[in-house]
Amino acid sequence: MLQLLQQELTLTNFALFFAWGVLMLLIILGFVTYAIYFERKVIGWMQFRIGPNRTGPFGLLQSVADVTKLLIKEDTIPKKADRDLFILAPAITFIPSFAVIAAIPFTKTIMASDLNVGILYYVALSGISTIGIVLGGWASNNKYALLGGMRSAAQMISYEIPLVISVVGVIMTTGSMNLRLIVEGQQGGFWHWNFLPQIIGFVVFVIAAVSELNRTPFDLPEAESELVAGYHVEYSGFRFAFFMLAEYVYVFAIASLTTVLFLGGWHAPFTFLDFIPGIIWFLIKFCFIVFFLFWIRATLPRVRVDQLMSIGWKVLLPLALVNVLITAVCTTIFMK
């Protein structure tokens, strides 16, 4: 794929790019379908419940049935809603979540694009989803939906700042925002992975990423007991499915980005295991992070909104800045 990127754009190359995009979309849709299933099974196992077990063998078709039900449900639009924005909001939320994956390198050769500003590309596009959520809440002409949209905007903007600053240390040590080069700088065993020298940035990144995903314990925009399901309360059918799809696609993207930035990407933890294909190591780390997100949802209670904002501004932001300062000092010392 990387060799294709370096060639002149022809009709054949365009067809290959299109096929690559369709393949990635199918892979991600498959991931979303069964991530929902395994999340329910994992949480059920942790909380001494059974989870899905009726639809299909071992309940494997439960998520397929749920998605089918959503797609065939009646599509309702409130009479006094802003119809155009109401229809547009789910698309604005979903499209950036899929587009950010173009910058993720899964191996040396399996990647959609080799961007020199891959991190900047990810941050810039992921921020657009906030606009879709706010639009969905505002266009619904519903006070509960508007409150949910405003909460989500405040949360995502607040946590995006420490999220970005936590990555600055990795950029400083690597000297590049190219995600492929960041992974190549971590070869040689797990002691070369960025999560060790950047442990403060790694912790800040993980906490801020969970909040960016609007997942427990930071799922305030979807606090059913307080806001009647939040910003998407007026959505039904496939438009509601788009919001949920965007959330799980971002789970895919954040798990991939964490693997690339801090866990060595496709590199093996020990050099004597280099004979195992890199994509296998990437998938193992990726699945561990996804499992960790499920684990958090099963065990931690939802925080209050004032606690949410205090953690972001009073704890994570100062820690991220301290990490940048420590990295700058250490980089200067070792360069001398």
Residue 9 is predicted with a pLDDT of 64
Any domain includes 1: no
Any domain includes 240: yes
pLDDT in tens, 147-173: 888 888 888 889 999 999 999 999 999
- CB atoms inside a 10 Å sphere around CB 15: 10
- Asked if 238 and 94 count as a contact pair (C-beta separation under 8 A), the reply is no
DSSP 8-state class, residue 300: P
For 78, the domain range is 73-335
Residue 280 is predicted with a pLDDT of 95
Token pair 């050099």 is found at 271
> Whole-angstrom Cα distance, residue 91 to residue 229?
19
Burial degree of 181 (CB within 10 A; 0-12, 13-18, 19+)? middle
Any domain includes 142: yes
Percent of the chain at pLDDT > 90 equals 56
Residue 88 is predicted with a pLDDT of 94
Sign of the dihedral through C-alpha 307, 312, 313, 319 = positive
Any domain includes 193: yes
Any domain includes 33: no
Q: Which of 133, 124, 149 is nearest to 94 (CA)?
A: 133
What's the Cα-to-Cα distance from 305 to each of 142, 151, 212, rounded to whole Å? 20, 9, 14
Any domain includes 192: yes
User: CB within 8 A of 249, min separation 6: which ones?
Assistant: 28, 32, 94, 97, 98, 101
- Residue 330 dihedral angles phi and psi, to the nearest 5°: -65, -40
Any domain includes 139: yes
Query: Per the structure, how many domains does the chain have?
Result: 1
Render 59-99 in DSSP notation, one character per residue: GTTHHHHHHHHHHHS-----TTS-HHHHHHHHHHHHHHHHH
pLDDT in tens, 171-211: 999 989 999 999 999 998 899 999 999 999 999 999 999 99
Torsion angle of C-alpha atoms 161, 166, 170, 172, degrees rounded to 10? 70
Residue 143 is predicted with a pLDDT of 87
Task: Give this prediction's pTM.
Answer: 0.91
DSSP 8-state class, residue 233: T
Residue 3 is predicted with a pLDDT of 46
- Asked if 264 and 187 count as a contact pair (C-beta separation under 8 A), the reply is yes
> Whole-angstrom Cα distance, residue 8 to residue 123?
28
Any domain includes 53: no
User: CB within 8 A of 198, min separation 6: which ones?
Assistant: 169, 170, 173, 262, 323, 327
Across the 336 residues of the chain, what is the mean pLDDT of every consecutive 10-residue run?
56 79 89 93 92 90 91 88 93 92 89 87 91 92 87 89 94 92 91 93 95 86 66 88 90 95 94 91 96 93 88 95 94 75
Render 6-28 in DSSP notation, one character per residue: TS---HHHHHHHHHHHHHHHHHH
Render 185-203 in DSSP notation, one character per residue: TT-SSGGGSTTTTTHHHHH
Question: Can you state the angle between helices 83-99 and 128-139, rounded to 10 degrees?
Answer: 160
